Structure 1
Amino acid sequence: MREYLLVLSVAAIVTYLATPIVRWCSVRWGAMPPVRDRDVHSIPIPRLGGVGLYLGMCAGVFIASRLPGLRHTFMYSSETTAVLVAGGIICLIGALDDRFDLDPLTKLAGQLVAAGVLVLLGVQLAFIFIPGGELGTISLDPNTSFLLTTVLVVATVNAMNFIDGLDGLLTGVAIITATGFFVYSYFLGKQGYGDAFSAPALMTAVLAGACLGFLPHNFNPARIFLGDSGSMLIGLVLAAAAISTTARTDTQSFDTLGNAVPLIMPILMPLAVLAIPLLDMLLAVIRRTRKGLNPFSTPDKMHLHHRLLEIGHTQRRAVIIMYVWTALLTFVGVGSAIFDTRWVLLISAVLAVAAVVLMLMPRVRRRIDGGAPHVHRTSRMSERKK
């Protein structure tokens, strides 16, 4: 654990120190597009934050390769190298999009290339476990495995990109989800399912550290945004961690843990941890498709975080609410594999009630105040400027 903490700290420190330099380069290069109708900020903000994340991750991985325990992850697996190479590609594509606003087809092609490189270098979903049936574990042929892995990576990349709409939102969500994946991967290693020093645990530790170092620059009021270079990089790393954890787990042996939930954790964990961004993406696709619009090239202000702002929450409170829901679902996914499921569900129910009350608080206040309409803080500021 000490080696993981060292790697996480190095990634956080390097990202924190590199981000101001990246911000300066972003301003000089012109990677700060004008404010769009769907944006919630009022002045152009530099992007390219993903470059700072990537530098922090590279520093963390370099230190890991020099440590006595973690260096074994490089000897027996190419997955960490695959994530760095594919992450560099997708970060470059995102940086070009941050600067030149690439068309959706070009950006999708870049995502497919990065996902393909990730698979070819060793991160691949080799089997699927189907609980409650006679099929059990289904081994995938190389072509099906390549296609399915690529689809999962691209879907996760776009899911993370969809929720990147408020200061610090995706950065905090990434910290929570990466930490959840790390705890689960580390737990598997400690229980004998693989090794405590594993590629998924390493890649999520460096991602969590890099995001921790970036958050002070990104939290409201943000001085720099992740941009597509950061959101797509986060999505790729989390997808790789989920796939790698599933690929190295013998799901048939999970019945020794004593209940049915851990048996299907390789399926439930990614869904639970990534539930919020995946749900937001699914709702956006359905909403735009019903209107006859392109779901990936027609942005709107109907995402979950936008709805929280409409209810009456400030940016910071909306972001914290999203943090709470992400942490809650992550706790359900990870906790079910580690603790007694009944206690996990009981604690989760209490936390869910508290989260709902916090989310609906502005509406309750308006009813107490006699139905007076809420005036958002940014609206009041704009009226003062007028």
Structure 2
Amino acid sequence: MRIYFFIAAIAGGATFLLTPLIRHLAIEFGAVGEVRARDVHKVPTPRMGGVAMMLGFLVSMCFASQLSLTEGLFHDNLQPVIISIGAVLICLLGVCDDRWDLDWMLKLSGQLIISVFVAWGGLKVVSLPFGSLVATSPSISMAVTAILIVASINAVNFVDGLDGLASGIVAIGGIAFAIYSYIIARNSPSYASMATMIDVALLGICVGFILHNWHPAKLFMGDSGSMLLGYLVTCASIVMTGRLDPTTIHASIYLPVFMPILLPILVLFLPVLDMILAIVRRVSKGQSPMHPDRMHLHHRMLRIGHSVQGAVLILWGWAALISFGSIMILFFEARYVAIGFVIAAILLTVATLYPYARHRIPEIREENAALAAARAMNGRPKHSTDTVAEEDKAPTGGKA
């Protein structure tokens, strides 16, 4: 366990130290985000923070390859190399978008090509609840892997709208994921787990970057960072769940057997939810699925009265509830987990709606008072002067 803490610390330290340098390079390179109608920030801010995160990840992998517990994961195994190459490629694609704002079709094509390359290199989902994909068709396995990676990349990209939001959500999911993968690794002769190694490195680069990205941010991660995070969290999921054999692991640990599909969705529930809502919303209006708007979850949080920091912290809370709630059944009885989940959900709901209620309740009271006053005026007996005025207005029936 201490080795994993060390890997996380290396990743976080390297990211933290490299971020100011990358910020300077982003300004020189022209990767500065102009203020757009849908943006929350008020001044142009450099992007490309994902480059520092990518370098922090590579540094941690280099250290991990030399540590006694994890060095065996790099022997006669191309997966770490393939994952690292894919991280560099996806980050470079994001850099191009940070600098030149690529067309969404071009960017999606690049994501798909990189995902297929990674799957072709050996990172594939090889088993699902409805059978072995390798035994059925290697091409189907590659297609499922590529779809999962591309979906996760864009899910994190969609939710990256507030300072520290995406990196915090991914860090929370990384912690939950690391706990689960570490438990699975304890059933093997060696506690070494590539999934856990990737998760703790992912956690480290997120924390190292948040220290520079907390509101008001000095640097944005940009697409180079959001796409990198989505890519890495899915790689960790595929490494672990894609090669699990449910018959060799106790049912209480391998729960449920749909983990190869469910785990990335649970870890990235909020980003995936936001992405689905955005696609449905835009397509229903006849727009492109990538058409920008101000209707994301974080925009809605700001609209009902939350500050940037408050919205981020509450969304972190929802992410933690969903991520950790999915693995608590490994440690506690399901009924206790359900009770705790409901209580936490109620508290988060109150926190989410509090600013809206604080401003809306007085408005409702004023509206009700005005309505009551209007009704009282309508139901009041008419004054004598009103009667006289009406009689004066009445026609006499004679000729002028």
TM-score (norm 1): 0.90
Please name the residue that 1:340 is paired with: 333
Q: Please state if 1:274 is matched with 2:268.
A: yes
CA contact (8 A) 1:7 1:206 kept: yes
Alignment of 1:129-144 (within 5 A): 129-130=129-130, 139-144=135-140
CA contact (8 A) 1:126 1:247 kept: yes
Q: Mark the CA change 1:258 to 1:240 in structure 2 (over 3 Å): closer, same or farther.
A: closer
Which range moved further: 88-97 or 264-273? 264-273
Q: Which of these two proteins has the greater Rg computed from alpha carbons?
A: 2
Task: Give the whole-Å Cα distance in 1 for the aligned partners of 2:254 and 2:85.
Answer: 37
Task: Give the whole-Å Cα distance in 1 for the aligned partners of 2:255 and 2:86.
Answer: 32
Task: Give the whole-Å Cα distance in 2 for the aligned partners of 1:338 and 1:79.
Answer: 31
Task: Give the whole-Å Cα distance in 2 for the aligned partners of 1:146 and 1:137.
Answer: 9
1:140 CA drift (Å): 4.0
Task: Give the whole-Å Cα distance in 1 for the aligned partners of 2:168 and 2:100.
Answer: 27
TM-score (norm 2): 0.87
Please name the residue that 2:286 is paired with: 292
Which range moved further: 342-351 or 87-96? 342-351
Task: Give the whole-Å Cα distance in 1 for the aligned partners of 2:38 and 2:201.
Answer: 32
CA contact (8 A) 1:366 1:372 kept: no
Please name the residue that 2:99 is paired with: 99
Unaligned residue ranges in structure 2 (runs of 5+)? 367-400
Task: Give the whole-Å Cα distance in 1 for the aligned partners of 2:259 and 2:151.
Answer: 20
Task: Give the whole-Å Cα distance in 2 for the aligned partners of 1:76 and 1:224.
Answer: 39
Task: Give the whole-Å Cα distance in 1 for the aligned partners of 2:88 and 2:157.
Answer: 17
1:372 CA drift (Å): 9.2
Please name the residue that 1:9 is paired with: 9
Which range moved further: 177-186 or 89-98? 177-186
Q: Mark the CA change 1:210 to 1:347 in structure 2 (over 3 Å): closer, same or farther.
A: same
Q: Which residue, out of 206, 217, 223, partners 1:222?
A: 217
1:123 CA drift (Å): 0.8
Q: Mark the CA change 1:75 to 1:259 in structure 2 (over 3 Å): closer, same or farther.
A: closer
Task: Give the whole-Å Cα distance in 1 for the aligned partners of 2:175 and 2:86.
Answer: 21
Task: Give the whole-Å Cα distance in 2 for the aligned partners of 1:76 and 1:353.
Answer: 50
Unaligned residue ranges in structure 1 (runs of 5+)? 374-386
Aligned-partner SS, 1:318 = helix
Task: Give the whole-Å Cα distance in 2 for the aligned partners of 1:158 and 1:229.
Answer: 12
Q: Please state if 1:79 is matched with 2:79.
A: yes
Please name the residue that 1:178 is paired with: 174
1:313 CA drift (Å): 0.5
1:28 CA drift (Å): 1.1
Give the aligned CA root-mean-square deviation in angstroms. Answer: 1.9
Task: Give the whole-Å Cα distance in 2 for the aligned partners of 1:328 and 1:320.
Answer: 12
1:44 CA drift (Å): 0.7
Q: Which residue, out of 188, 197, 205, partners 2:192?
A: 197
1:16 CA drift (Å): 0.3
CA contact (8 A) 1:182 1:204 kept: yes
Q: Please state if 1:213 is matched with 2:205.
A: no
Q: Which residue, out of 270, 274, 277, partners 1:283?
A: 277
Q: Mark the CA change 1:259 to 1:95 in structure 2 (over 3 Å): closer, same or farther.
A: closer
Alignment of 1:243-282 (within 5 A): 243-254=238-249, 256-258=250-252, 261-282=255-276
Please name the residue that 1:157 is paired with: 153
Residues 257-306 of structure 1 show CA distances to partners (whole Å, capped at 9, x for unaligned) of 4488444444432221111111100000000000000102x110000111
Residues 31-89 of structure 1 show CA distances to partners (whole Å, capped at 9, x for unaligned) of 00311110001111100000000111011111100101111111253222221100100
